Amino acid sequence: MDIGLKGKAVLVTGGSRGIGAAISLELGRLGADVAMTCRSRVDDANKVAEQIRQMGCRSMVIKTDASVFDEAEKTIDSVVKEFGGLHALVCNAGVTWDGVIWKMSEKQWDTVINTNLKGYFTYNRAAAKVFKENRYGKIVNLSSINGLRGKFAQTNYSASKGGIIAMSKALAKELGRFNVNVNVVAPGMVKTEMAANIPQEFIKLAVNETVLGRIAESEEVAWVVAFLCSDMSRHVTGEVIKVDGGQYI
């Protein structure tokens, strides 16, 4: 099905594994050229890029740290130069470092906030300049239902993900007149490598919170992101779409 992504250039931050890899592969399947950033797992990202190339689309991997302010514009410039433009940005790179607040260190707080919130700001800011000039663009920021409801032992993570939602809504207002859509996808528990390391009792608790009786597959998040990157979502902006099987309700 052609949803208007063929030949479009998309940058996905944190595209080497899990949800980011699933998003990158789905965009490639739909005909987009996909650039991915990663901080350390370059081999994993290159494997994803090769799969996208086998689909007949261009792909590139950029090793960079999402929390470093100056690197975002360099990354955006590299993608524009390589692909001849940029049509959509998907911010997905993120970390967790859990702990109850009375035991949480400053480093725990700063690491999560700098990667998850500042990292999104740096890429949203850099892409906004391109999209504003071109009077076209799609920004999709990955948050979490825990940014809406909070989560025990995740004050840093919940704050970062809640900040992403507020930032995206403000940015949607700023960029709307330039034909730029800004939206948020907020997954619940998703079956990824990260989830595989979570104790089974916590997985069961998440499953019990859902109304569908299971946690999401990465591809199910990717489908929603692809829709928001496409022209099928041209009248959708400032929205937070939960992909959680009813976990939030």
92-119: per-residue pLDDT in tens?
999 999 999 999 999 999 999 999 999 9
Which position among 120, 123, 136, 157 bears the catalytic label?
Answer: 157
Domain residue spans of the chain: 9-243
φ/ψ region of 14 (left if φ > 0, alpha if ψ in -120 to 50, else beta) reads left
Given the candidates 3.30.1360.30, 3.40.50.720, 3.40.50.2300, 3.30.360.10, the CATH classification of the domain at 9-243 is 3.40.50.720
Average pLDDT of the residues of the chain? 96
Predicted confidence band of residue 229 (pLDDT cuts 50, 70, 90): very high
- Give tens-digit pLDDT for 131-168: 999 999 999 999 999 999 999 999 999 999 999 999 99
C-alpha distance from residue 43 to each of 32, 36, 54, 214 (Å) = 21, 12, 17, 31
State pTM to two decimals: 0.96
User: What letter represents residue 136's amino acid?
Assistant: Y
| Cβ neighbours of residue 167 closer than 8 Å, sequence gap 6 or more | 117, 120, 121, 124, 141
Active site residue 157: yes
Q: What pLDDT does 199 receive? A: 81
pLDDT tens, residue by residue, 180-215: 999 999 999 999 876 667 788 889 999 999 999 999
Q: In this predicted structure, what is the pLDDT of residue 192? A: 85
Q: 200 or 6: which carries more pLDDT confidence?
A: 6
Gap between the Cα atoms of 89 and 95, Å rounded: 19
Percent of the chain with pLDDT over 70: 98
Would you state the pLDDT for residue 195?
Answer: 67
